[in-house]
Every structure is written in C-alpha cells, then in structure tokens.
Chains A and B, each alone.
Chain A
Amino acid sequence: MNRNMKKWLEELRQSKTKKPLPVLSFPAVQLMGISVPELISDSDLQAEGMKRITDRVNSAASVSLMDLSVEAECFGANIVISDNEVPTVKGAVVTSFEEAEALEIPAVGTCRTGIYIDGIRKAVEKISDRPVFAGMIGPYSLAGRLLEVTEIMFLCYDEPETVQLVLNKVTEFLIAYGKAYKEAGANGILIAEPLAGLLSPSMMDVFSSPYVKRIVDALQDENFLVLYHNCGNNTVQSLDSILSIGAAAYHFGNAVSMKDVLNRVPENTVVMGNIDPAGELRHGTPDSVRTAVRKLLEECSGYSNFVISSGCDIPPMSKWENIDAFFDETAKFYQEGVLKQ
C-alpha cells in the first residue's frame, strides 16, 4: 500500500503512545508449524508469516526476515541452513584482489532474492493496516561475508583496495535489490550493517557509511524509508559517522545504552532499540521481559524520538509468551502515562 512514509514516521515520533517496532518475523515458524528452511524458500509462507504476526501483535510496522545470507548466496557464498536457526554463510568467495576484480554482480531475482521480493509483493497485498519493511544486508556486512568476516578486518589495513572493490560491487547490487523491493510495494527497507559495528569510527567512515549513504540516496524518498540497523558495540562512538548516512531512522542493539545514543542524536531523528532478543525474548520469561521493557521505557520514553524495539532480529524459537509480554508491557506503560496526564 502506497503511503507517505515521512508523514508516518513523524506521526510515530510525535505519538504519546508509541507502538513497538521490533525486528519480528522468524518466530512466525512457530505460529505456522513450519521450519526455517521452509520459510526461507517460499514467498507464500513468508507473506503469510508476516500477516500472522501482524494479526497477533500491535506493532508500528511489519518487518520482513533479517536473513543475512540471501545476498551473499547470490554472489556464490556457501550457505548453511538449519531447522531452527537463521541461515549462515560458510567460507569465503573472494580471497584475492584478482578474485575481487573477477567477482560478477549477480542479477537481482536470482537465487533466493526472487523469493524474498515476491514475499514482500504478497505481504503488501495482505497487510494494509501498517507499513511493510523489507530486510536487506548492509554493504560492509555483505563484503565481510564474501571476504570472510575475520579476514576483512585484516584486509581493511592490508589491502583496502580489495575491500573497496568488493564494497563498490555489493553496493551496486544492493541498490538494485532495494529498488526491486520498492517496485514490489515495500514502504521501506531495514538495512542491517552489524559487521560495521566492530569497526572504529574512522574505519566506519571509510568502509561502511559512504556505501550505506549511496544506497540511502538512491532509494529513500517520501514514500520509501531506509531504516539503519547496527547492533555492534561501537555505535555510540560512531554516531557521527552513522548519522551521516541520512537514513530516516536508526535501530541499535543491546550492546549499547539507548540513553547514551539518544543523548547524542537530534530529537527529530527516530531511534529504535534495544531489548535483548536472545537473553530476554528467546531465553527470558514473561516476567523478565516485562521488567526489561519497563526499565528501558522508564529510561528512554522521555525522549520523543525513541521507539522501543528488539536489539536485533528476534530468533525463530523465541517464546511467543515473551513476545506477547513485550507488546503488552509496552502498551500498559504508555497507557499509564496517558492516564496520568
């Protein structure tokens, strides 16, 4: 459904009773009685999963799968798939400058990107009461999967030209991929750039932010927003670099204090985060989730630009009683605030 997304975001920012916007999609496997391999290989199941979640929870938006193997697989990476966990990439595709030069930019729609784009096309037909965001990996995180995540850290010092060559190629691909999501009817994308969360601010300035900015500049407009996700532990130190990309909103993980982030972000910029998805939503209890939600909201709800979320993608087998508690406690907290006024 076509929406004025800038207006939607501003309304969310100004709302006194903010709905949560967690990265919630993989736990649909439990609602549907299917496995992760089934979900990631079928666009109908993806759309149905997103619909089942929107029927169950009162979220600000629907967010598609944060599957950070899709794009790497397109470039030829080996993928390891398991029944209950998000897919992971094994090994390197590029091991030298020559291989980086020879690396071909795949056509969007090949491998599973076609399924994911179709999944969004079908999801926007089913979901009309809230925006639908597609999920996409960030350029440094994708380059890391192609060069191997430890190796890219060395290469940033040893062979920066190899890293930059790969970054240019993956950025071109990601822009085309994002455009395909836009054409499929998504209201925006959530770009996940977690690997950049391990870089120093100055290296992020060189190896991540300019490439993310290129994607943002190519895709973002009034009807299509880019949300930026980084769950690394250096995001507070790197905020100037991160904010330079010009995304519509920023989503941070539980490795950092949301209050520290909010103190350094302009109040007209929406910031989301950061309930621990593994510790609380996967392994916690409804009571511990409620305590964590209330603590975070007590700290951060005073910032008008704060929207509560999970700190990262919510794992497939997270307990639904915990996810329900997350939404219920948030609603209760804001309702109490309204009643006090």
Chain B
Amino acid sequence: MAGMNVVGVKFKNNEIFVPEVLVAARAMNQGAALLKPLLAAEGAKASGRVCIGTVKGDLHDIGKNLVKMMIEGKGLEVIDLGTDVPPEKFISTAIEQNCQIIGLSALLTTTMPVMREVVEAAKAAGIRDHVKIMIGGAPVTQAFCDEIGADVYTPDAPSAAEKAVELCRQL
C-alpha cells in the first residue's frame, strides 16, 4: 500500500497518468484481495468505509473509478454504487453499511445539483453529524462544495484518497 502513495504523488506531479494509476491500483487491489482473508483472521480491519458513486443522471465513471481504486489503496473499504445513483441509494447504503463517507462524482453540469439533493437527504436522514460527504468531478469546485454544504471537495483522485483517510481518522 505504501507503493500506492508513491503512485499518488507521481500522478499529482504529472509523472505518470491515468492508465498507469489504474494498472497499479488494480495490481494492488488484487494483491490485497489475496491478503484480506489472512489479515481478517488476524483481526485486522479496514480503517474506514466509503460508499461512492456517480450521481443520478450521470453515466461518467472514469473519475469515480480512479478515486475508488486510490481510496482502496489507502486501506479503506469502498462500496461502489456505480453510475446514475439516486440520492436515496447513497443514504440507505451509508446507513446500512455504516459508511463514514459518501463520495459523489459528477461530470455533467446538469447533474451537479443532485449533489445538493444528497446533502439534503443526509440531513433529513439524521446522519449528517457522523457521515462526511466528499464531492468531485471536472465541473465541481470548492465554491460549489461550500454552496451546497458538502464537507470536502478535492480536485484530483490522490487528494480525494488522502482526504478520505484523514476524515476516517477524525470520525
């Protein structure tokens, strides 16, 4: 997993690119899948759980996939809800699976408002105090994050993974 930190830094510095990160993350995840039963037998647990998806109306998923793999590379468990995910699915998954973080991705300007709906639905469900909401995607900005009341915006996958670990430590 330490290797993925190097991958993240090199990606941020434009020394390696999306295909290389995906291939490295796949190798790490396949290795982790072999080790997981052994670690579980020793009593080791993932240091946090995140549900992630591309919001309703949006089918783009390469950014979400990249973030998912990098978060997994940091030792967190990720529940991938896929694309076109309605707000209620994020909320029910977060509750049922005890997720510390909901991760939302959008590429389309018209689907960004769904992120606000997720924030509102989390408030209505009474989970806002113990579930953090992270957002990202090409048109998403810090200003938009502040406007809708999400917790964290990150501009790239390595930053998202670092932030997810930090949030799980705090919770």
Contacts and interface: CB of A to CB of B under 8 A. Distances in A.
A98 to B, nearest CB: 23
Best-buried of B18, B26, B138 by chain A (most CB within 10 Å): B18
Interface stretch (A51-59, A107-115, A180-188, A196-204): A196-204
Interface of A: 80, 82, 84-85, 88-90, 149-150, 153-154, 156-157, 198-200, 203, 233-234, 237, 278-279, 282-283, 315, 317
A82 B138 CA distance: 19
Given A84-B110, A198-B19, A234-B14, 17 more contacts: A82-B57, A85-B109, A88-B59, A88-B60, A88-B108, A150-B61, A153-B62, A154-B19, A157-B19, A157-B23, A198-B18, A199-B18, A200-B17, A203-B19, A282-B109, A283-B139, A317-B109
B16 interface: yes
Contact of B109 (A80, A199, A237, A283): A283
Contacts of A150: 22, 61-62, 65
Interface string B96-109: 00000000000011
A315 B110 contact: yes
A122 B139 CA distance: 33
Contacts of B26: 154
Interface residues of B, number: 23
Contacts, number: 66
Interface of B: 14, 16-20, 22-23, 26, 57, 59-62, 65, 108-111, 138-139, 141, 144
A278 B107 CA distance: 10
A107 B20 CA distance: 35
B139 A154 contact: no
Contacts of B20: 200
B57 A203 contact: no
Nearest to A157: B23
